[in-house]
Amino acid sequence: MVIVPLSRTILDPDPLAGLGSQRSSDGRLLGHFPFPEVSADQLIQVAPGLKAHRDAAEPLLAMQREAAADGVDLRVLSGFRDLALQKQLFFDVKAERNQSAAERAKVSAPPGFSEHSTGLAFDLGDGTRPGTNLKDAFETTPAFAWLERHANRHHFRLSFPKGNRQGVSYEPWHWRFEGSAEALKLFEAARRGAEIR
Protein backbone atom coordinates (compact mmCIF):
# COMPACT_ATOMS: atom_id res chain seq x y z
CA MET A 1 0.00 0.00 0.00
CA VAL A 2 1.38 3.39 -0.95
CA ILE A 3 0.48 6.12 1.49
CA VAL A 4 0.89 9.63 0.19
CA PRO A 5 1.74 12.09 2.98
CA LEU A 6 -0.48 15.12 3.35
CA SER A 7 1.00 18.02 1.51
CA ARG A 8 -0.04 21.43 0.33
CA THR A 9 -0.63 20.08 -3.16
CA ILE A 10 -3.15 17.54 -1.91
CA LEU A 11 -4.97 20.13 0.17
CA ASP A 12 -4.97 22.96 -2.40
CA PRO A 13 -7.19 24.85 -2.37
CA ASP A 14 -7.05 24.91 1.40
CA PRO A 15 -10.14 22.97 2.59
CA LEU A 16 -9.72 24.47 6.04
CA ALA A 17 -9.94 28.09 4.95
CA GLY A 18 -12.34 29.95 7.19
CA LEU A 19 -12.53 27.20 9.79
CA GLY A 20 -11.07 29.35 12.55
CA SER A 21 -9.47 26.46 14.43
CA GLN A 22 -5.87 25.55 15.16
CA ARG A 23 -4.28 22.12 15.16
CA SER A 24 -3.19 20.67 18.49
CA SER A 25 0.42 19.73 19.23
CA ASP A 26 -0.27 16.13 18.11
CA GLY A 27 -1.64 17.32 14.75
CA ARG A 28 -5.33 16.91 15.51
CA LEU A 29 -7.93 19.41 14.41
CA LEU A 30 -11.13 19.47 16.45
CA GLY A 31 -10.28 15.98 17.74
CA HIS A 32 -9.48 14.44 14.34
CA PHE A 33 -6.07 13.27 13.16
CA PRO A 34 -4.87 14.17 9.63
CA PHE A 35 -5.11 11.48 6.96
CA PRO A 36 -3.83 11.40 3.38
CA GLU A 37 -6.10 10.90 0.41
CA VAL A 38 -5.35 7.57 -1.26
CA SER A 39 -4.44 7.77 -4.93
CA ALA A 40 -7.13 6.79 -7.44
CA ASP A 41 -5.07 3.86 -8.75
CA GLN A 42 -5.27 2.25 -5.29
CA LEU A 43 -9.10 2.19 -5.25
CA ILE A 44 -11.42 -0.70 -6.15
CA GLN A 45 -15.20 -0.60 -6.45
CA VAL A 46 -16.83 -2.72 -3.73
CA ALA A 47 -20.47 -1.80 -4.42
CA PRO A 48 -22.26 0.53 -6.82
CA GLY A 49 -20.81 3.97 -6.20
CA LEU A 50 -18.60 2.78 -3.33
CA LYS A 51 -14.83 2.38 -3.45
CA ALA A 52 -12.26 0.99 -1.04
CA HIS A 53 -8.49 0.87 -0.87
CA ARG A 54 -7.38 -2.28 -2.66
CA ASP A 55 -5.85 -3.65 0.57
CA ALA A 56 -9.21 -3.41 2.36
CA ALA A 57 -11.54 -4.35 -0.50
CA GLU A 58 -11.32 -8.14 -0.37
CA PRO A 59 -11.29 -8.34 3.47
CA LEU A 60 -14.38 -6.10 3.51
CA LEU A 61 -16.21 -8.24 0.96
CA ALA A 62 -15.12 -11.45 2.72
CA MET A 63 -16.46 -10.07 6.00
CA GLN A 64 -19.74 -9.21 4.28
CA ARG A 65 -19.97 -12.74 2.77
CA GLU A 66 -19.26 -14.37 6.15
CA ALA A 67 -21.92 -12.23 7.81
CA ALA A 68 -24.41 -13.24 5.09
CA ALA A 69 -23.56 -16.92 5.67
CA ASP A 70 -24.46 -16.32 9.33
CA GLY A 71 -27.78 -14.73 8.33
CA VAL A 72 -26.66 -11.12 8.86
CA ASP A 73 -27.27 -8.49 6.17
CA LEU A 74 -24.14 -6.35 6.64
CA ARG A 75 -24.28 -3.34 4.30
CA VAL A 76 -21.51 -0.96 3.24
CA LEU A 77 -23.02 2.53 3.41
CA SER A 78 -19.91 4.58 2.74
CA GLY A 79 -16.28 3.96 1.86
CA PHE A 80 -13.68 6.19 0.26
CA ARG A 81 -14.47 9.91 0.26
CA ASP A 82 -12.32 12.41 -1.58
CA LEU A 83 -11.43 15.77 -0.08
CA ALA A 84 -14.07 17.59 -2.13
CA LEU A 85 -16.89 15.37 -0.80
CA GLN A 86 -15.58 15.60 2.77
CA LYS A 87 -15.42 19.38 2.43
CA GLN A 88 -19.05 19.42 1.31
CA LEU A 89 -20.13 17.08 4.13
CA PHE A 90 -18.35 19.22 6.69
CA PHE A 91 -18.92 22.81 5.60
CA ASP A 92 -22.24 22.63 3.74
CA VAL A 93 -23.98 20.56 6.43
CA LYS A 94 -22.39 22.74 9.13
CA ALA A 95 -23.95 25.82 7.52
CA GLU A 96 -27.27 24.09 6.83
CA ARG A 97 -27.57 22.98 10.47
CA ASN A 98 -26.21 26.27 11.86
CA GLN A 99 -23.45 24.37 13.68
CA SER A 100 -20.12 25.65 14.89
CA ALA A 101 -17.02 23.87 13.56
CA ALA A 102 -16.54 22.21 16.95
CA GLU A 103 -20.14 20.95 16.97
CA ARG A 104 -19.87 19.63 13.42
CA ALA A 105 -16.52 17.92 14.16
CA LYS A 106 -18.18 15.76 16.79
CA VAL A 107 -19.98 13.90 13.97
CA SER A 108 -17.98 14.66 10.81
CA ALA A 109 -14.26 15.15 10.28
CA PRO A 110 -12.95 18.27 8.57
CA PRO A 111 -11.53 17.63 5.08
CA GLY A 112 -8.00 16.24 5.30
CA PHE A 113 -8.86 14.71 8.68
CA SER A 114 -11.26 11.92 7.73
CA GLU A 115 -10.36 8.23 7.88
CA HIS A 116 -12.58 7.80 4.81
CA SER A 117 -10.02 9.62 2.64
CA THR A 118 -7.64 6.66 3.10
CA GLY A 119 -10.08 4.22 1.52
CA LEU A 120 -9.62 2.08 4.64
CA ALA A 121 -12.65 3.25 6.67
CA PHE A 122 -16.28 2.29 6.16
CA ASP A 123 -19.71 3.13 7.46
CA LEU A 124 -21.61 -0.12 7.90
CA GLY A 125 -25.29 -0.79 8.35
CA ASP A 126 -27.83 -3.55 8.82
CA GLY A 127 -29.94 -4.27 5.73
CA THR A 128 -32.79 -5.53 7.92
CA ARG A 129 -32.82 -2.36 10.05
CA PRO A 130 -32.12 0.60 7.69
CA GLY A 131 -33.67 3.01 10.18
CA THR A 132 -30.57 2.53 12.35
CA ASN A 133 -28.14 3.58 9.60
CA LEU A 134 -25.61 6.16 10.86
CA LYS A 135 -27.32 6.27 14.26
CA ASP A 136 -26.36 5.10 17.73
CA ALA A 137 -29.26 2.62 17.42
CA PHE A 138 -27.07 0.63 15.02
CA GLU A 139 -25.51 -0.88 18.17
CA THR A 140 -28.82 -2.74 18.76
CA THR A 141 -28.74 -4.54 15.40
CA PRO A 142 -27.71 -8.08 14.51
CA ALA A 143 -25.05 -6.56 12.20
CA PHE A 144 -23.37 -4.68 15.05
CA ALA A 145 -23.49 -7.72 17.34
CA TRP A 146 -21.92 -9.76 14.53
CA LEU A 147 -19.18 -7.14 14.01
CA GLU A 148 -18.34 -7.15 17.72
CA ARG A 149 -17.83 -10.92 17.56
CA HIS A 150 -16.12 -11.24 14.16
CA ALA A 151 -14.66 -7.94 12.83
CA ASN A 152 -11.24 -8.47 14.44
CA ARG A 153 -10.77 -11.68 12.47
CA HIS A 154 -11.07 -9.60 9.30
CA HIS A 155 -8.77 -6.87 10.70
CA PHE A 156 -11.52 -4.29 11.24
CA ARG A 157 -11.76 -2.09 14.32
CA LEU A 158 -14.39 0.31 15.63
CA SER A 159 -12.92 3.78 15.10
CA PHE A 160 -14.87 5.83 17.63
CA PRO A 161 -16.02 3.83 20.66
CA LYS A 162 -17.97 5.39 23.51
CA GLY A 163 -15.85 7.74 25.63
CA ASN A 164 -12.92 7.88 23.19
CA ARG A 165 -10.14 10.32 24.09
CA GLN A 166 -10.44 12.13 20.76
CA GLY A 167 -13.78 13.54 21.88
CA VAL A 168 -15.44 12.33 18.67
CA SER A 169 -19.02 11.17 19.10
CA TYR A 170 -19.62 7.45 19.43
CA GLU A 171 -20.08 5.95 15.96
CA PRO A 172 -20.98 2.26 16.15
CA TRP A 173 -21.23 2.16 12.34
CA HIS A 174 -17.70 3.47 11.55
CA TRP A 175 -15.08 0.71 11.19
CA ARG A 176 -11.54 0.91 9.80
CA PHE A 177 -9.31 -1.74 8.27
CA GLU A 178 -6.02 -2.38 10.09
CA GLY A 179 -4.89 -5.48 8.22
CA SER A 180 -1.56 -4.26 6.85
CA ALA A 181 1.58 -2.80 8.39
CA GLU A 182 0.95 0.43 6.51
CA ALA A 183 -2.61 0.70 7.84
CA LEU A 184 -1.43 0.03 11.39
CA LYS A 185 1.16 2.76 11.05
CA LEU A 186 -1.32 5.17 9.48
CA PHE A 187 -3.87 4.67 12.28
CA GLU A 188 -1.44 4.42 15.22
CA ALA A 189 -2.17 7.89 16.61
CA ALA A 190 -5.90 7.44 16.07
CA ARG A 191 -5.81 4.04 17.77
CA ARG A 192 -4.28 5.63 20.86
CA GLY A 193 -6.81 8.46 20.65
CA ALA A 194 -9.71 6.01 20.48
CA GLU A 195 -8.78 4.47 23.82
CA ILE A 196 -11.44 4.96 26.45
CA ARG A 197 -10.93 7.79 28.91
The answer as to whether 105 is a domain residue is no
The answer as to whether 33 is a domain residue is no
Q: What is the pLDDT of residue 194?
A: 55
Number of domains present in the structure of the chain = 1
The answer as to whether 13 is a domain residue is no
The answer as to whether 95 is a domain residue is no
The answer as to whether 22 is a domain residue is no
The answer as to whether 29 is a domain residue is no
Q: What is the pLDDT of residue 193?
A: 60
**DSSP calls for 2-48:** --PPP-HHHH-S-TTTT------TTS-BTTBPP-PPPPGGGEEEEET
CA dihedral for 56, 61, 62, 63, sign (positive or negative): positive
Which alpha helices (DSSP H) does the chain contain, by range? 8-11, 54-69, 83-87, 93-96, 101-105, 142-150, 181-186, 188-193
Q: What's the domain range around 57?
A: 41-81+116-193
CATH number, domain at 183? 3.30.1380.10
The answer as to whether 144 is a domain residue is yes
| pLDDT digits (tens), the chain, 197 positions | 444 444 333 443 444 555 556 777 777 888 889 999 999 999 999 999 999 999 999 999 999 999 999 999 999 999 999 999 999 888 887 788 888 888 888 878 999 999 999 999 999 999 999 999 999 999 999 999 999 999 999 999 999 999 888 878 899 999 999 999 989 999 988 877 655 54
The answer as to whether 70 is a domain residue is yes
The contacts of residue 88 (CB under 8 Å, 6+ apart) are: none
Q: State how far the alpha carbon of 129 is from the alpha carbons of 68, 126, 197, in Å.
A: 15, 5, 31
Beta strands 121-126 and 74-78 are antiparallel
CA distance 35 to 113: 5
